Chains A and B, each alone.
Chain A
């Protein structure tokens, strides 16, 4: 009987979403203690108000980015650090098309769908560039994406001629604000839509299987007939495209294209969301649900820190400490040290090293 209970507990604690949920619960618990009315939700003027709503609303872009980052991490064992800059590019293209080149407009100069398409195309192009460098030319992902990480904001500045382009049109504010008569903020719909869409694609097609097998062992996947180059490439294009969606939402939130500030530091949060979600940063199997939970955890943490009067500049300190703790807990060496407490002998290879070994 006792054994049975133990077995159940083990089943629960070994579930891949157990740790991410515990992290989220810890952050939420800290919030409830700090602010007892944390879970209170009210409707003012037909719009939902409350801390929780705020967390869910603000985390929308992060959720969208985290989905793309998860795919890239799983397929290539590396992260795309250019997503924040790609967001800035997408926002800049979208606003620039809408304003027709003027600094501030009160009506659309070009049709809205055209602007969205142009922004998404630009973002997908950025993703394709990253994907090309990573999959075809075999450059370590984070170094390859470093090029766009720096160039991206410059390109966004170039698109907007170095100014902040304002689009003061009600229809444009809808994407980052509220639909008429709907109490739930619109970005939430974008986030839910993206998560559902990608989940359906992953469930109904073989893409998930391919991505995971390429991430676990690219060379072996190639030998069994998978085009691992193309799968890595596709994952980067999807990541770029999703960064574009996030960029449009972010620029709609402030109804302007601010090349310097849209999506700043968000790449870090997205990587952190993937790590918090229990996904291995070295590639392989992945869990979208985990990443989404991770994104909520980070946003809850950010909101909490703001509520504790921590200045925006100092947030990185706390986040960096959390990252270090998480990656240390995830590291195989540390885990082995804890479980065995024996002096480490010849270490088993991490997935990345295995891949490197096979390739060389």
Chain B
């Protein structure tokens, strides 16, 4: 019905191992990309950009980053909020220190700085695993937030300890600050998300990605067959840190514009991104997108339905939101522990066989 695979032959290895080997999938992917790049920028308004699409794009980058670490390499991390803060503060210092440099460069360098910090905190992973490592990264979370709160140099000695993004441009288009148009900020984040997703997808199916998965599935066996655990773990921390740093920089500079470290990058942020990865699906790029979309959109949809349509009191809706999100997380993990990505995979299998179920 949907998937007509008759006649969809592959005559070379690259064709057979492409990301979307089925024609229908591939064209759907092209259509989504075309829509995101060519249609949305012309119909987007402030509300859609600032309340829905920017958080979705930025959290998707963070989720991809964390998924590489947790989903592909099996190194549980609770330090995401802290690492995002590194990206944000690096970006702030770069923006204020080198105002004439393009934001593209600043965001990439912020990612690089975060990668270095992330590797430093990833070093204990060579000795400890699982729960103990989670606690070590938790320490990173608290240490980093404390550091940015404590050392005035990071927030340029402002009276309140807040950092605010000054107005900066990319190719002459205002990209940060209040005068940035919804289209500009959206496209800027979209470009970064596309770039991150493509890199992540290609890393995870190459040598490095395979060594990560080997470490995840059984580290002893991986070591015996010649995977270097030091290299595999630290590259996972570095790549993950790079993406999370980019998301932190965008989160501060493009989306919020002003940040207070304890409030914006607290432990709740770490859990939020972890939930995205778990609900979306561990070890899946699509899962990172799905998880981010789910957790960004659900509260907004509940609010729209509860307050604007039903007219319920705001506090009741806010409490229900907690209940519903919690219940959905539990429900998902029971029904489908591998997340939304697995649900999608199962649905696809069914559709490919339809109408002849086994």
Q: A and B, one complex? A: no
Instruction: List residues of A whose CB falls within 8 A of some B CB.
Output: none
Give residues in B with beta carbon < 8 Å to A: none
